[in-house]
Structure 1
Amino acid sequence: MDLADMIEQAKMALRLFLNNRFSEAKERMKPLSESSMYHSLGYGTILYLQAVMTFDMTDIEVAIQAMKKSINVCSKFRRKYSMLQSLSKVASKIDYNNLSEEETHAELCYAECLLLRALLTFIQDENLISFVKGGLKIRECYKIYKECNKMLQNRDFTMDQEKVHFESGVKMGIGGFNLMISLLPSKILKLLEFVGFSGNKRHGLRNLKDGSDNLNSLRGPLCSIVLIAYHTVVCYVLGLADGDIDLADQLLQPCLKDYPKGALFLFFAGRIEEVRGNINEAVVKFEESIDSQQEWRQFHHLCFWELMWCHCFRGDWLMAMKYAEKLCKESRWSKATYSYQKAAFLMMCDDQTEETKAHIKYLFGEVPRMKQRIAGKSLPIEKFAVHKVKRILDHQTDLVLPALELVYVWNGFSIIGKKDGLLDPVLAIVEKTVTNITENKGAYKFYHDDYSLAILLKGVCLKWKGRLMQAEQCFKEVLENEKRLKLDTYLVPYATVEMAMLSLQMDNTKDCKKYLDCAKKNYKGYLLESRLHFRIHAIRLQLSSAGVSEGSEGGITPQEEDSTGGFNIDGVMNHSGNDRQNNVETDLPSAVESVKL
């Protein structure tokens, strides 16, 4: 089978996969997976996706063995150099025209296999050694992508029939690397600085967009998927909810035309409606995605997660609880988080019976037992849940607005705030709670903690209502309570960053930088610290893109941005940009958690 046949077979398998025919796609790739690089890559990729979605150790081991074979198969097609040739290759400029077309694609396939193998390494074992091994594999992968980028710029492709597929693969690799790395606060980068990574968001987005322009190329649809996921999910989980939803919709429409029943694309259609605040339309799309296939129920879990939040945004606590319950029963991902969410949603219901209260207590009691560890550390969101449960069990006190607190830490107000029909009921609940706390101060064992949480949520609601001065007063009240807080100390740094975002909204960049510096330097060791530092990093990027230089505080100017991180026009990765950025305190599992959820 020649290169053109390999690629055509891989495209057919990809079409099957995106049309929910997962087993057919896998079976099409399997027979030649030990002799064809594209069959091997396709087969290993499907097993990889299955492993990360089920999180079953058996599936993970099967995927690892498949990726090892894929790496060996791709290696057979790569150009072999003797030691003398390798030395001369380093000493002189490489003539990429000496490579056959098959050898250029082998480099690309090898890099992709190596990356998937590295990601599996991260979840295989719960120790730091796995991260070191994975990091070394990713470094090699990055170096190969850099070489592939040089090939793209310097090779004469006149005689190459499959350039479009090679080009989209290079664009996907470079774009994905730059985008992923650019999102990480510098503390995480310091843990990986021996790998030599740095990233440029604009460069990454530009490459992915270029790669997605040709959906007939093998990796064109994959570039679209990465971009859509970034704008509709990643920006809302890790950033400031500033994704380009119109662009995501524009990219999605051709995919929906080609794959009208594709579960993944229907999910993204629902997600676009959700972030626009069109909750009813979002629910319909998520349910269509669920109904579109029954083979991989793991895709259902993505929809269950979003449906849970959709009903939560509407204040339908029982329906939100039911989807959290589905996740807890079916998904291998964070059962501690799902159980805490179930209890939190139930607590929001009015007129609770004694039976309901007993069930809530039982659910909270299960949370610490379900906590898991990745790379030897607990997930931040699970630490948060356990902390809250500890307060209930140790001090026999109820939580205040636990579901809305979860909405806040998951950045859900950026969705609720777009529609008065969603925001006004939430504001009414929060104001009623604030009144109840102040009028019954003696009934609250942690009065200042509870009041500060409620007033922070009120400030967020007022901010989205456009009542900025009132919102500012709420956030300042939280800051004034700093020394009175006993358990929920995370409220103060979060309120500080809210003040920074408020200042940015009012074009007061001086105060914005002041509050960011305060949040970075004055607070450590609080709950969900890494999550907040992703937001701080996103605000700094927004400041730099707006033309505000932060000088010695760690920002970069727009003139510097294209040359301080990412692949520049010559395909060379510079490492000076993010190394200068803020010494942000965070923990590595947050990155794993973000990718996972």
Structure 2
Amino acid sequence: MTLKECLDECMEALDLFLNNHFSESLERLRPRVNESMYHALIYATVLEMQAMMTFQHDDISSAGNTMKKAQEGQFTPKSTLQRTFPFLQHDRTRYYIIFLLHAEVCFAECQLQRAALTLLQVNEHICILSPRELHSLIKSHSCLKGPSHKHFEGGISFGMGAFNLTLSLFPPRILKVLEFAGFSGDKEYGLSLLRDSATRMNLRSMLCALLLLCYYTFLTFILGTGEGEVEEAERLLKPFQLHYPRGAIFLFFAGRTEEIKGNIDEAVALFEDGCKAQQEWQQFHHMCYWELMWCFTYKRAWKMAYFYADLLSQESRWSKAMYVYMKAAYLSMLPDDETRPFGEDEVELFRKVPTFKQKIAGKSPPTEKFAIRKARRYKASCPIKPPVPVLEMMYMWNGFSMISKRPELTEGMMQTLEEAERSLLEGPENEYSVDDRCVIHLLKGLCLKNQGHLLAAEECFQKLFSSEKKIRFDHYLVPNCLVELSLLYVNQGRRDEAIKLLQKAKHNYKEYSMESRTQFRIHAALAKLKVNPGEEEDTDL
């Protein structure tokens, strides 16, 4: 097959994939994985998407081995390109160079995806030519352009865009270690490259679109300051929804955008449609179950949320400890005299959480470690019930920002928190009392902020901060309280005070639960305030 024929067939396979014909897509690609670099790359990419959703060892190994095989088969020494460029006037050599350049893009993309798959850092010496070098070469030799050029440019845009966008998310101290190959971590440049490629019909359009949708609806929301970029996500989704109206992937992201907007019922309908759209890959169902669990959490429908946590605990391999913890947490929110679904007992479930601990690339997921730490209080023969474990975990996923656009949802959460606060005040003092009251202060502050009661919200955060030296277990509370108070100050135009609090949270607290998440949020907040490195250094802590 010619290069053009390979690319056309891979585009057809991707079209099948986006229309939920997953097996047919793989069958179209499989016969040529050993003879076509693009068949090998796209085949490995589909397997990687499956592995990322299942977290099953066999799927991860298969995807990793396939990606490695695809990469090793397309290795092209830099010197070969350099020797051949002087002879570009010959058509045969010109075609050979185009082929080699496509191979270089495939090689770099394989490396990027292998790094994502194994959760390891990319070594700067692995890539032969960086996407930036390839971009310069193709610009300076216009004779290399041809029918396959849009796919080549798409590969460069995906590589450069992904690197720049990813690096821009990291705090400066990590960025110094990760910056390489001339990339500066320029977020706007990375986004522009990805947007441009996502809206053109090339082989990487889907990958660019999915990366952008993840960024707009998850990364900016969970690791940022909680706004999300809904308008950008909707603009990007629109053509894909028209072309693939029953595409499970796009139904999922449409649901996510409605969720961020606070349209919970509309989000539920889209996630349910996503489950109905296909039955071949259950992993897509698990993604929808996770979001449905949170949607019913925002509505305080604890039993419905429990139902989806239970489904995940039975079917998904991603983090059973997290799912079992959430099941127990939802049951603990029910009145003591209310019947538990399936006759389950939250105390026994909490005690089982540590037994499901797993390691990915040698480390446990941060949310899983958090759940295990919180479940420790159930080791006692007469455990002390946590006040609002569901709402505490909801905070870790920035759920209070999610409900900020719906006053009735915030009001419901405030009622739950006030009831928990009354129970704490009426109950006897114990070793967890201060920590539990501080959890309530943090979450009430967020609700009050949502309701526009900024002075009352600040008072809640200040109460928590004044109890810093009395906190015994939940040391994550103080740095996160400082972040939330700083964001409150940002809304009030108190920029200098906000920066001081962010710097204090950044430098004065270490080794607490979910620290990386908090550091990412601090970095995002400082970036939002356009704080330059010199200004950071001059800040008086």
TM-score, normalised via structure 2 length? 0.92
SS of residue matched to 1:295 = coil
Is 1:6–1:36's contact at 8 Å kept on the other side of the alignment? yes
- TM-fit CA distance, 1:20: 0.7
Asked if 1:284 is matched to 2:269, the reply is yes
Asked if 1:342 is matched to 2:324, the reply is no
SS of residue matched to 1:153 = helix
1:330 is matched with which residue?
A: 315
1:381 is matched with which residue?
A: 367
Separation (CA, whole Å) in 2 of partners of 1:2 and 1:443: 76
Task: Name the amino acid aligned to 1:32.
Answer: R
Separation (CA, whole Å) in 2 of partners of 1:32 and 1:378: 38
Asked if 1:296 is matched to 2:294, the reply is no
- What 5-or-longer segments of structure 2 have no aligned partner? 87-92
Asked if 1:421 is matched to 2:408, the reply is yes
1:59 is matched with which residue?
A: 59
Higher mean alpha-carbon deviation, 413-422 vs 44-53, is at 44-53
CA displacement, residues 273-331 of structure 1 (integer Å, 9 cap, x when unaligned): 11100000001100111011111101111000000000000000001011011111111
The two structures, once aligned, show a CA RMSD in angstroms of: 2.6
Q: Measured at CA, do residues 354 and 224 of structure 1 come closer, stay the same or move farther in structure 2, by a change above 3 Å? A: closer
1:149 is matched with which residue?
A: 135
2:424 is matched with which residue?
A: 437
2:453 is matched with which residue?
A: 467
1:306 is matched with which residue?
A: 291
Q: Measured at CA, do residues 187 and 370 of structure 1 come closer, stay the same or move farther in structure 2, by a change above 3 Å? A: farther
Higher mean alpha-carbon deviation, 187-196 vs 460-469, is at 187-196
Separation (CA, whole Å) in 1 of partners of 2:157 and 2:139: 12
- If asked which structure has higher relative contact order (CA below 8 Å, sep 6+), I would say 1
CA displacement, residues 8-65 of structure 1 (integer Å, 9 cap, x when unaligned): 0010000000111111111111111111111111111122222222222222222233
- TM-fit CA distance, 1:358: 6.6
Is 2:168–2:185's contact at 8 Å kept on the other side of the alignment? yes
Is 1:52–1:60's contact at 8 Å kept on the other side of the alignment? yes
Separation (CA, whole Å) in 2 of partners of 1:424 and 1:418: 11
- Among 114, 117, 120, which residue is 2:117 paired with? 120
Asked if 1:361 is matched to 2:347, the reply is yes
1:262 is matched with which residue?
A: 247
1:188-337 paired onto structure 2 within 5 Å: 188-189=174-175, 192=178, 198-214=184-200, 216-337=201-322
- Among 142, 162, 165, which residue is 1:179 paired with? 165
SS of residue matched to 2:126 = helix
CA displacement, residues 174-195 of structure 1 (integer Å, 9 cap, x when unaligned): 1111111111223444554688
Separation (CA, whole Å) in 2 of partners of 1:151 and 1:463: 52
- Among 102, 105, 108, which residue is 2:105 paired with? 108
2:385 is matched with which residue?
A: 398
- Among 525, 534, 538, which residue is 1:551 paired with? 534
Higher mean alpha-carbon deviation, 144-153 vs 470-479, is at 144-153
Higher mean alpha-carbon deviation, 519-528 vs 306-315, is at 519-528
Is 1:286–1:307's contact at 8 Å kept on the other side of the alignment? yes
Task: Name the amino acid aligned to 2:79.
Answer: Y
- Among 437, 440, 449, which residue is 2:435 paired with? 449
Separation (CA, whole Å) in 2 of partners of 1:459 and 1:102: 59
1:420-569 paired onto structure 2 within 5 Å: 420-438=407-425, 440=426, 442-544=428-530, 548-549=531-532, 551-553=534-536
Separation (CA, whole Å) in 1 of partners of 2:363 and 2:181: 22
Is 1:152–1:167's contact at 8 Å kept on the other side of the alignment? no
- TM-fit CA distance, 1:238: 1.1
Is 1:178–1:204's contact at 8 Å kept on the other side of the alignment? yes
Q: Measured at CA, do residues 68 and 384 of structure 1 come closer, stay the same or move farther in structure 2, by a change above 3 Å? A: closer
- TM-fit CA distance, 1:450: 1.2
Is 1:51–1:63's contact at 8 Å kept on the other side of the alignment? yes
Q: Measured at CA, do residues 185 and 143 of structure 1 come closer, stay the same or move farther in structure 2, by a change above 3 Å? A: farther
- TM-fit CA distance, 1:144: 2.4
- What 5-or-longer segments of structure 1 have no aligned partner? 90-95, 123-130, 556-580, 582-597
Task: Name the amino acid aligned to 1:422.
Answer: L
Is 1:441–1:447's contact at 8 Å kept on the other side of the alignment? no
1:70 is matched with which residue?
A: 70
- TM-fit CA distance, 1:82: 5.9
Asked if 1:412 is matched to 2:406, the reply is no
Separation (CA, whole Å) in 1 of partners of 2:177 and 2:77: 33
Q: Measured at CA, do residues 543 and 80 of structure 1 come closer, stay the same or move farther in structure 2, by a change above 3 Å? A: closer
Separation (CA, whole Å) in 1 of partners of 2:264 and 2:537: 39
2:26 is matched with which residue?
A: 26
